[in-house]
Amino acid sequence: MARFGRVLTAMVTPFTEGGELDLDRAAELARWLVAQGNDGLVVAGTTGESPTLPDAQRLDLFRAVRDAVDVPLIAGSTTNDTGHSVTLTEEATEIGYDGILAVTPYYNRPSQAGLLIHFRAIAASTDRPVMLYDIPIRTGRKIGQETLLELAHDVENVVAVKDAAGDLSATAHLVRDAPDDFEVYSGEDRLTLPLLAIGAVGTVGVATHWCAREQAEVIDAFAAGDVARARELNARLLRSFAFEGTDAAPNPVPTKVMLEVLGMPVGSCRGPMGPVPPGLADEARAVAAELGILADAGAGAAAH
């Protein structure tokens, strides 16, 4: 059993029409996502627009979601500043989060030696398990294979990686060489099934805002050895994976549009994410209708 669950969603952060943090809707959204089949949530990750959240708002969001649900919660408590990351991680630990998502420092492109210092400092600041987040397309720096393995072997509470690097061969070698209890989570929805094939235990998804149950079925089918069924189910989700982020509408813009279509409006994104391109809501309706979730999800949102 994956320590945080099989299907987690990197939750969007709700804002009001005026762009203010909407804590009531954040709590409601967290409960709704759990009802839709998520085993756990990542709060204030990149999909949660963490770079636009001042510290006080990020901590208020942590508290609101922690109070709302009783599932594993992972705090997006890190930035590209090591000292700042340590402080936020200490706060998230005190609030009662179950794990920490430690993203590679973005923009400043530290050396691998610098990454080791950064991640070791974060891990030392908490007694909670730490999931590294390797997403070089956004951060500009890959966590090197030797760096990942050193952290996995030498730092007791570095227990997992959210893998959005897109290098399946490297991940296969990581699974082979890391400790047996080190876990790989897919950080790229379209690669979840291939990553399962080389040893991933679950996903931290974006499309799982609206297809968590369907993604869980893929994972269950694969785990049961029914690869043909897993492929069939995964094929039904390909349009969702394509919808969740494009050059014209990068993540999380499409997810916020989809949630509005499903009856769970969470406001617009803060700048620089946006604006919503024409026709995106129509595409969201088509994606939801193809999965057969439009009516059911809308009713569930209304019930909450």
Catalytic residue, from 142, 162, 185, 256: name it: 162
Amino acid at 173: H
The angle that helices 82-95 and 55-68 make with each other, rounded to 10 degrees, is 30
Catalytic residue, from 97, 106, 107, 133: name it: 133
CA dist., res. 199 & res. 172, Å (int): 7
CA dist., res. 197 & res. 300, Å (int): 33
Binding positions for pyruvate:
47, 204
Q: What are phi and psi of 277, to 5 degrees?
A: -70, 155
Binding positions:
47, 204
- Our answer to whether residue 256 is catalytic in this structure is no
- Our answer to whether residue 133 is catalytic in this structure is yes
**Got the DSSP string for the chain?**
--TT-SEEEEPPPPB-TTS-B-HHHHHHHHHHHHHTT-SEEEESSTTTTGGG--HHHHHHHHHHHHHH--S-EEE----S-HHHHHHHHHHHHHHT-SEEEEEPPPSS---HHHHHHHHHHHHHT-SS-EEEEE-HHHHS-PPPHHHHHHHHHH-TTEEEEEE-S--HHHHHHHHHHS-TT-EEEESSGGGHHHHHHTT--EEEESTHHHHHHHHHHHHHHHHTT-HHHHHHHHHHHHHHHHHT--SSS-TTHHHHHHHHHTT----PPPTTS--PPTTHHHHHHHHHHHHT-HHHHHHHHHH-
Non-local (6+) Cβ contacts of 227 within 8 A are: 221
> Which are the catalytic amino acids?
133, 162
